[in-house]
Amino acid sequence: MITQEEAVVQKVFKQLDGMSKIEVYDILFKIESMLLDFKSPIRYEELKESLESTSRKINADAADNFGHFYLEDQCEYIKIYKAKTLLPDFFGKELLYFFTPWQLKIMDYTDENLKSTFEGTHLEDVLNRFLETHTAQTRNPVTNRFIFLELLDQMDLNP
C-alpha cells in the first residue's frame, strides 16, 4: 500500500512523462519559486489565478537593482535570457545572456562565450562551422527565433 504522498508523486511523474530532465528541473524550480508567495494549505484556485495574472513572473529573475532577466528562447542545450533594465537603451543593442545545463554560470550571449562553453562537447565542430558564417544573434526573419537554437534543435542530445 502506498502513502498519499507517494500517490501524489506518481501523479506528478505521470504528467512529466517524456520530458527532458532539464525541463523537469525548470518546472520544479518554478513551483518552488511560486510556493514562496502562498500560505499553507495550498489552494489550486489561488495558484491558477496567480499564473494567469502574472504569466511572465515564472520566466523572470532579478538581474540587479536596475532590471530583470526574461526567458527569450530555449532548447535542450541552452537557455537565452534578455535583460530588461530600467535605464534607457542608448545603443539599441539587446542585452542577451545564456546558460547551459552543464555550466550554470550565466554568460553574455556572444560567439566567443558560446565557443568556450561548447568546447570539448560533441557539438564543438558544428558550432564552430556555424559561427564562421553566422553570428549567434542572427534571427530567423520568419519566426524571429535565433538560428543558432534552430540548429541546436536538430542535434541529438547523445552523440
The yes-or-no verdict on residue 11 having pLDDT over 60 is yes
pTM summary value: 0.56
Cβ proximity of 123 and 154 under 8 Å: no
In tens, the pLDDT along 35-78 reads 777 778 888 888 777 776 654 444 444 444 445 677 888 888 88
CA distance 12 to 9: 5
Cβ proximity of 55 and 65 under 8 Å: no
Ranked by mean pLDDT, which of 25-34, 44-53, 88-97, 115-124 comes out on top?
Answer: 115-124
Candidate from 26-35, 61-70, 81-90 with smallest mean pLDDT: 61-70
Domain definitions of the chain by residue range: 1-55, 59-159
In tens, the pLDDT along 90-101 reads 555 678 888 888
